[in-house]
Amino acid sequence: MRDRHPLDNPARSALLGPHAGLALRRGQVLRYPVDVCPFVALPDLPDEDAWRDAADLLGPGAVLPLAAVQPRPPSGWETVFSLPGVQLVDQQVHPQADPDVVALGPADVPEMLSLVERTRPGPFLARTVELGGYLGIRLDGKLVAMAGQRLRPPGWTEISAVCTDPEYRRRGLAGRLTRAVAADIRARGDIPFLHTTADNADAIRLYDQLGFRLRRRIEFTALRVPCPAPVG
């Protein structure tokens, strides 16, 4: 059996590592606070006890989102969705600080959430910015593009929430921000990586041009916790 890689189960690697201070735990299962990051982290090969821990941690009827892992759930668990995706890693990225890029923090969250609503880059919640490393570009007095850092398995950092207002696309803003975030990650000694859906050809093309390469194909999966059968 090959050695386990931190990116094989990135949310669990992060919550057992650099993000341990954020971890909410029940038995074998960990998760982020619900307003920070949606992901729940199961063991690589969850047994019946682990699935019971997950149900207890989330509660009946709750949705369990998984990052880049797809364990087979036991009977009674409903698959809400399963989307093909890709996991890309930095192999030839040229990190570059950018004088026009600004750091984003809690005071910028309303604008960040508005941008996410317009662009749908993936999960970004009210406290996601607390994970740190979010950068943006402002034009015409408003936030028009951003990117930041999310999961942090040991030695690696995920670039996430890369998005640009539709009115400001085709100006290279996403590439500039990705390189700037990569520069911060490299300065800390980590290697950048990221995820996107397999059908997002524009994003994959951009990341390939920047120097990211495919590590593996994944599934973005969400499962629903079973509800107890009614009594009587």
Does the pLDDT at position 2 exceed 80? no
Instruction: Among 3.40.30.10, 3.40.640.10, 3.90.550.10, 3.40.630.30, name the CATH number for the domain at 88-217.
Output: 3.40.630.30
| Contact of 196 with 212, CB cutoff 8 Å | no
Interval 122-159: pLDDT, tens = 899 999 999 989 999 999 999 999 999 999 999 999 99
Burial class for 113, CB neighbours closer than 10 Å (0-12, 13-18, 19+): middle
Cβ atoms 29, 53 nearer than 8 A = yes
Question: What is residue 1's predicted lDDT score, i.e. its pLDDT?
Answer: 39
Q: Give the chain's mean pLDDT.
A: 94
CATH among 3.40.50.1360, 3.40.109.10, 1.20.810.10, 3.40.630.30 for 6-85+219-224 = 3.40.630.30
